[in-house]
């Protein structure tokens, strides 16, 4: 009975923390339905289109920059709540802003919320999860991202069809939001999960590892007993307390061995994951599907198919990450993702369109969803010690957003300049680099507690490998 209760508790707080991932996915993918009407309304060039999409990523970088250090100082839960408030403000602000510069401002604010959530949600889940289920539970965060992406696609499709079905004139706020400016309605849907995130965070406990780091041992022990049960919770507490003697050394400590090698490993894997072009596929989905020969009016429908595939395939990672391990999944997925991207490029090159093109893109999503996508979060949240984990993870997540910003800024220009086939061949090349680098440098962490991993690199067992 005790084990059932602890399982329920850890699953509940994981789902609440993963709402940050849902909002991450929703707010970054909803723009796919906004780009075309916004281009028409404001007369955007390709460069302006790229700037509108990528400006949110600059906000992500800013959000990550302060969230890691702040979470090490004031706690994981408080910073998660900051992200929830930012999500809410940006959704309302974007929907009701008229001036183009104000739209940019609220997109940047959205990016800040996403940046904070992308850093703190997986970090928090990693620190509360039992070691034997940590990989699986952190992947729930990636699953929430994919569900958020799918929710954005579905709501975009629904609102677009609703607006198209309204014949004749109308008036009132709802008509203005959902018909005259349907793209505004697409964005304001995000208010619903943002409010839910704010309220549900009130019942989430602080990270026990952060509490121990700041001497709040009784609170930490109580939470660990709820998560792991009476006996295991006490053992976990003793292990955490043993490793919690250091206070954060900040960025300077991360520049010293062996942490600098671990940081390089996590940052390189993260950057290469994003250079696979995943966000180009997500953000510019309708444009890509149009190029693939799919009728423009059906583009959002086919994007729902892509989003559904992304959700389903993430369950492979959930089921296998704690049994097969991190490294085997990463190697298989990165190599197969390279093949799928090359196949997509070949389809564009040979003008093979329609369902076969859609199949090749879905194939890429399959391999990305159980490897490059979730494992960068799992690995980055595991390999650093508690006293500096927030700061270290913020640097890894910042690497992710800088990489995304580059990809999304350049994608329209690469698409129009190099051609979409060559663009996919370039993405395929980066997946091959991911495979080569992970094969040489990545080490296995499945089944080990965070403290056991820390002891391993302290004794140079890991440092020698990386």
The domain spans of the chain are 2-204+246-458
Looking at residue 45, what DSSP letter applies? -
Map tokens 């093109």 to a residue.
357
Angle in degrees, CA 275, 280, 284, rounded to 5: 175
CATH architecture, range 2-204+246-458: Up-down Bundle (1.20)
Which residues contact residue 144 at a Cβ distance below 8 angstroms, ignoring those fewer than 6 apart? 18, 19, 20, 21, 22, 24, 25, 121
- 3-state SS, one letter per residue, for 261-320: HHHHHHHHHHHHHHCCCHHHHHHCHHHHHHHCCCCHHHHHHHHHHHHHHHHHHHHHHHHH
Which portions of the chain are predicted below pLDDT 50?
A: 1, 461, 463
Reference 226, options 195, 198, 204; nearest CA is: 204
DSSP output for 124-170: HHHHHS-GGGHHHHHHHHHHHHHHHHHHHHHHHHHHHHHHHH--S--
Q: 417: part of which helix (H) or strand (E)?
A: helix 386-417
Reference 253, options 63, 388, 386; nearest CA is: 388
- How much is the pLDDT for 461? 47
91 contacts 187 by C-beta, under 8 angstroms: yes
32 contacts 153 by C-beta, under 8 angstroms: yes
Assign 190 to helix, strand or coil: coil
Question: Burial letters for 336-355: b for 16+ Cβ neighbours within 10 Å, e otherwise?
Answer: bbbbbbbbbbebbeeeeeee
- How much is the pLDDT for 82? 92
461 contacts 354 by C-beta, under 8 angstroms: no
How crowded is residue 177: how many other Cβ atoms within 10 Å of its Cβ? 20
- Going 274 to 131 to 310 to 341, the CA torsion angle's sign is positive
How crowded is residue 219: how many other Cβ atoms within 10 Å of its Cβ? 15
CA distance 24 to 374: 14
The dihedral over CA atoms of 19, 400, 299, 161, expressed in degrees to the nearest 10, equals 30
pLDDT tens-digit map of 207-220: 888 888 888 888 88
Map tokens 């957003």 to a residue.
401
Which residues contact residue 153 at a Cβ distance below 8 angstroms, ignoring those fewer than 6 apart? 29, 32, 33, 285, 300, 303, 304, 306, 307
432 contacts 259 by C-beta, under 8 angstroms: no
The dihedral over CA atoms of 198, 199, 205, 210, expressed in degrees to the nearest 10, equals 10
Assign 108 to helix, strand or coil: helix
pLDDT tens-digit map of 158-199: 888 888 777 666 677 777 777 778 888 888 898 999 999 999
- How much is the pLDDT for 249? 55
In angstroms, the Cα distances linking 148 to 154, 193, 277 are: 10, 10, 19
Reference 112, options 396, 398, 391; nearest CA is: 398
254 contacts 399 by C-beta, under 8 angstroms: no
- How much is the pLDDT for 208? 86
Map tokens 């391990």 to a residue.
325
How crowded is residue 8: how many other Cβ atoms within 10 Å of its Cβ? 11
Structure tokens at 235: 């053992």
pTM above 0.85, yes or no: no
């Amino acid at each position: 009975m005790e084990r059932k209760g602890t399982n329920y508790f850890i699953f509940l707080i994981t789902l609440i923390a993963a709402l940050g991932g849902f909002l991450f996915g929703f707010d970054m993918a909803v723009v796919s339905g906004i780009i075309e009407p916004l281009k028409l309304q404001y007369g955007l060039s390709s460069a302006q289109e790229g700037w509108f999409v990528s400006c949110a990523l600059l906000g992500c970088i800013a959000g990550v920059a302060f969230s890691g250090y702040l979470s090490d100082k004031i706690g994981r839960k408080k910073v998660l709540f900051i992200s929830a408030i930012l999500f809410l403000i940006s959704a309302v602000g974007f929907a009701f802003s008229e001036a183009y510069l104000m739209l940019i401002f609220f997109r940047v604010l959205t990016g800040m919320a996403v940046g904070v959530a992308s850093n703190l949600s997986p970090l928090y889940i990693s620190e509360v999860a039992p070691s034997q289920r940590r990989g699986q539970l952190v992947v729930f965060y990636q699953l929430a991202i994919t569900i958020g992406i799918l929710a954005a696609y579905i709501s975009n499709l629904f609102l677009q069809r609703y607006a198209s079905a309204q014949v004749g004139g109308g008036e009132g706020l709802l008509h203005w939001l959902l018909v005259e400016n349907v793209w505004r309605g697409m964005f304001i849907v995000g208010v619903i999960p943002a409010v839910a995130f704010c309220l549900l965070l009130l019942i989430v406990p602080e990270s026990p590892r952060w509490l121990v780091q700041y001497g709040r041992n009784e609170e930490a022990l109580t939470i660990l007993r709820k998560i792991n049960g009476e006996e295991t919770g006490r053992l976990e507490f003793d292990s955490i307390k043993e490793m919690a003697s250091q206070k954060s050394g900040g960025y300077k400590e991360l520049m010293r061995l062996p942490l600098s090698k671990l940081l390089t490993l996590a940052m390189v894997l993260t950057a290469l994951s994003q250079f696979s072009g995943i966000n180009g596929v997500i953000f510019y989905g309708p444009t890509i599907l149009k190029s693939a020969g799919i009728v423009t009016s059906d583009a959002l429908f086919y994007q729902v198919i892509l989003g559904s595939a992304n959700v389903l395939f993430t369950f492979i990672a959930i089921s296998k990450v704690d049994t097969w391990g991190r490294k085997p999944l990463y190697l298989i997925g990165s190599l197969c993702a390279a093949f799928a991207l090359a196949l997509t490029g070949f389809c564009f090159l040979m003008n093979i369109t329609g369902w076969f093109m859609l199949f090749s893109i879905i194939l890429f999503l399959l391999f990305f969803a159980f490897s490059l996508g979730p494992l960068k979060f799992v690995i980055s949240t595991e390999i650093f010690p508690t006293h500096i984990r927030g700061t270290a993870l913020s640097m890894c997540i910042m690497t992710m957003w800088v990489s995304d910003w580059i990809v999304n800024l350049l994608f329209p220009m690469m698409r129009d300049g190099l051609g979409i086939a060559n663009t996919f061949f370039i993405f395929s090349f980066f997946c091959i680099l991911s495979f080569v680098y992970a094969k040489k440098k990545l080490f296995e962490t499945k089944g080990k507690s965070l403290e056991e991993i820390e002891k391993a690199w302290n004794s140079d067992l890991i440092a020698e490998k990386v």
